[in-house]
Amino acid sequence: MDPIAYVNGSFVPLSEAKVSVLDRGFLFADGIYEVAAVLDGKLVDSASHLARLERSVGEIGLALPETTARIEELQKELVARNQLDNGMVYLQVTRGADKSRDFPFPKGVTPTLVMFVTAKDIVNAPSAKAGIGVITVPDIRWERRDIKSVALLAQVLAKQAAAAAGAGEAWMIEDGKITEGGSSTAFILTQDDVIVTRPNSNAILPGCTRKAVVALAAERQLRVEERAFTVAEALGAKEAFITSASAFVQPVITIDGKPVGNGKVGPMATRLREIYVDFARATAV
Ligand code: PDD
């Protein structure tokens, strides 16, 4: 079956889903995206993703063409039309297609809204049991990483380097500290059992999974500290892991080929993953 996509008000076969070559997402990366997980046909942590979408578009002066309530309805309809049980909904909104390539915002142009789905069994992903390796790369991105912009070339290069090295993610380094993964948030568990992740700022994307995991850990009286950490500290930690909508919680067992802790998947990452999956199932809409 040809998957179904949503493009500017219509559900169409993905192979026929098209936007203009003048679309500002294509020409300038002038757009915002969101990725939400789908579990058992339901949207995971949807309110959090829609709140971040609203914030991101606000930060670039772009008005959503639909309310977030309507967007959620459309996402649900897209999941249903594709009979998707497990995977992700990708959503992108751009400043639309003007008559020519002018840098300033065009007037009277309707934003482009596109959505499609990808099937993936996130809960049973083999890498969650086996753990992944990460490589480190310099963080060469712009200064507003809190905005979920479609300008992802730095992450494309970082994740390509990771893939070429046989690693599952790239951790980006700035001023000697890890900012985040190419498409995920970075965490460690220190030797004295403190869960550490970098505080939200313009330096990182405020991860929805990060937010939920930090809250779920705190509710269980686990110690959480929000601060930046170095690669040396991560290598000397008990455990390391990443979080994202498309991976949930995934253990990191090596950094640049060197083992984290004992080099095995640790109990905290495993526990937080279970806690997150329970939360995701219980709150999905
Ligand atoms: N990436 N940091 C970056 C740079 C990201 O691109 C992502 C998500 C995250 C984690 O955020 P969340 O927990 O809300 O997914 C952190 C998505 C999944 C992607 O680009 O595919």
Q: Report CA(207)–ligand 1 centroid distance (Å).
A: 6
Spatial separation of the C-alpha atoms in residues 250 and 122, rounded to whole Å: 10
| Residue 65 backbone phi and psi in degrees, to 5 | -75, -10
Question: Rounded mean pLDDT of 47-54?
Answer: 98
Task: Say what the pTM is.
Answer: 0.98
Q: Which architecture characterizes domain 126-283 according to CATH?
A: Alpha-Beta Barrel (3.20)
Catalytic residue (choose from 99, 148, 159, 211)? 148
Is 148 catalytic? The answer is yes
What is the reported pLDDT for 188?
A: 98
Q: Per-residue pLDDT averaged across 97-111, rounded?
A: 97
pLDDT band of residue 96 (cuts 50, 70, 90) is: very high
Per-domain boundaries in the chain: 4-119, 126-283
Q: For the residues 213-235, what does the mean pLDDT come to? A: 98
What's the gap in Å between 13 CA and the centre of ligand 1? Answer: 26
- Give yes or no for residue 1 having a pLDDT over 90: no
Cβ within 8 Å of residue 217, ≥6 positions away: 195, 224, 272, 275
Ligand 1 binding pocket, CB closer than 6 Å: 35, 180, 183-185, 205, 207-210, 243-246
Q: Which pLDDT tens digit goes with each residue over 228-271? A: 999 999 999 999 999 999 999 999 999 999 999 999 999 999 99
Q: Whose CA is nearest to atom 20 of ligand 1?
A: 183
Is the distance from CB of 74 to CB of 59 less than 8 angstroms? no
Percent of the chain with pLDDT over 70: 100
d(CA 66, ligand 1 centre) in Å: 23
The answer to whether 24 and 31 have CB atoms below 8 angstroms apart is yes
Q: Three-class SS of residue 192?
A: coil
Domain 4-119 - what CATH class? alpha beta
d(CA 45, CA 169): 23
The answer to whether domain 4-119 and domain 126-283 are alike in fold is: no
Mean pLDDT score of the chain, rounded to an integer? 98
